[in-house]
């Protein structure tokens, strides 16, 4: 499955980059931003998305609509153009879901037609028109959006939040059906970032703190430290500072001395422990009653301060984030780091026990 989305509304760039900033594997080189399942070309004249994840399509698409004031009311507007390519059902199965049929050859399994979908909130509506071609078990759809009428800002926003490419294409393509139930839990990590001068970086790497390799693909040096963990070093701008990104998979085999060395040589002042889970289905009652979360002002957000770590859960995106910051000051101890890390793992297990009843077998 591949979805290409084009918009010339470059004002959306800031909001998109902000939304993607929390992705752990985000990479940015020039005008190209990459995370697993998404490549974004962000130029001065347009934004071009190439997406292979239905979840990311659902997340990005509503963000490309704008509420335009018209007198006392608003209307949703967008210039988005989409080309979606995916494996599809047979023409016979697709036919009942089309609103127009332009060509049909069942023997060759060819089909040309149009499918419409509408999302409405009170008086305002958005319609998607997908002109599609089916051949050889593959569907290619060109999709545009039309908006109808005006309404309050609240109703327009409610309409935009309903927009879903999955709703439009799921009856035609199995790849757009809801994913199989079950959370995706990443590995916990201990991380830090620090900008240093070229001179400090040269002094650090010449000390040979570990095994050094150069990645031509990422244009970065990767150092596997003798005391555990690794550091990726990348030049931010030609002739300017070096960005050093430190990562440990676990604190169990790390000596406290290595953190002292990193503080002295690179100026790293704190470590972040991060553990994420996606597609984690939890009800408000489970969050507040079973896990002691509290509802936050942000409409979809629940949070918990567990003392040595914090937990946040977005009930719309189904993302759970457990995190804490450990200062590398004179009071730092390896035992405190290991304790916080262990508590985060234990809490993730507790969440899984609560969420388990919400999933059914594949």
Q: pLDDT-based confidence at 179, cuts 50/70/90?
A: low
Whole-number pLDDT of residue 227: 64
Distance (Å, whole) CA 274 – CA 325? 9
Whole-number pLDDT of residue 238: 63
Q: What is the pTM of this model?
A: 0.55
Q: pLDDT-based confidence at 173, cuts 50/70/90?
A: very high
Strand partners, 243: 195, 234
Closest CA to 161 of 256, 62, 296, 229: 62
pLDDT at 249 over 90: no
Do residues 156 and 118 lie in contact, with contact meaning Cβ atoms separated by under 8 Å?
Answer: no
User: Tell me: the pLDDT tens digits for 193-213?
Assistant: 999 988 888 988 898 888 999
Q: pLDDT-based confidence at 361, cuts 50/70/90?
A: very low
pLDDT at 362 over 50: no
Do residues 224 and 209 lie in contact, with contact meaning Cβ atoms separated by under 8 Å?
Answer: no
Do residues 362 and 180 lie in contact, with contact meaning Cβ atoms separated by under 8 Å?
Answer: yes
Q: Give me the mean pLDDT over the 321-344 stretch.
A: 92
pLDDT: which is higher, 324 or 362: 324
User: Tell me: the pLDDT tens digits for 82-109?
Assistant: 999 998 999 999 999 999 999 999 988 8
Helices marked H in the chain: 13-20, 54-60, 91-94, 153-162, 165-169, 198-206, 256-266, 284-285, 334-355
- Kindly state the tokens that stand for 170: 């799921």
Give the three-state DSSP class for 173. coil
pLDDT at 360 over 60: no
Q: State the burial class of residue 148 (Cβ atoms within 10 Å of its Cβ: 0-12, 13-18, 19+).
A: middle
pLDDT at 180 over 60: no
Q: Give me the mean pLDDT over the 116-127 stretch.
A: 91
């Amino acid at each position: 499955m591949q979805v290409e989305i084009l918009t010339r509304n470059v004002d959306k760039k800031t909001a998109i980059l902000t939304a993607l900033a929390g992705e752990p594997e985000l990479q940015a080189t020039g005008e190209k931003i990459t995370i697993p399942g998404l490549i974004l070309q962000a130029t001065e004249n347009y934004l071009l998305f190439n997406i292979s994840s239905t979840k990311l399509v659902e997340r990005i698409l509503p963000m490309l609509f704008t509420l335009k004031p018209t007198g006392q009311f608003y209307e949703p507007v967008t210039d988005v153009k989409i080309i979606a390519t995916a494996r599809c059902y047979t023409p016979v199965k697709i036919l009942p879901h089309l609103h127009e049929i332009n060509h049909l050859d069942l023997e060759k399994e060819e089909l040309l037609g149009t499918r419409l979908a509408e999302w409405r909130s009170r008086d305002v509506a958005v319609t998607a028109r997908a002109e599609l071609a089916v051949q050889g078990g593959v569907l290619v759809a060109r999709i545009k959006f039309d908006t109808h009428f005006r309404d309050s800002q609240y109703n327009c926003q409610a309409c935009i939040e309903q927009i879903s490419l999955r709703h439009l294409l799921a009856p035609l393509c199995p790849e757009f059906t809801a994913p199989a139930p079950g959370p995706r839990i990443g590995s916990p990590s201990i991380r830090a970032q620090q900008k240093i001068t070229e001179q400090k970086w040269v002094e650090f790497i010449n000390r040979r703190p570990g095994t050094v390799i150069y990645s031509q693909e990422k244009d970065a040096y990767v150092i596997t430290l003798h005391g555990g963990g690794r550091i990726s070093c990348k030049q931010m701008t030609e002739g300017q500072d070096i960005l050093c990104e430190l990562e440990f998979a676990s604190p169990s085999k790390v000596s406290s001395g290595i953190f002292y060395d990193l503080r002295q040589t690179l100026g790293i002042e704190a470590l972040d422990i991060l553990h994420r889970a996606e597609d984690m289905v939890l009800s408000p009652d489970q969050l507040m009653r079973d896990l002691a979360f509290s509802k936050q002002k942000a409409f979809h957000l629940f949070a918990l301060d567990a003392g040595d770590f914090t937990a946040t859960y977005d009930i719309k995106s189904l993302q759970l984030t457990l995190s804490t910051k450990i200062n590398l000051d004179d009071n730092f101890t390896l035992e405190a780091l290991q304790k916080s890390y262990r508590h985060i793992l234990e809490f993730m297990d507790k969440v899984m026990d609560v969420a388990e009843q919400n999933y059914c077998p594949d």
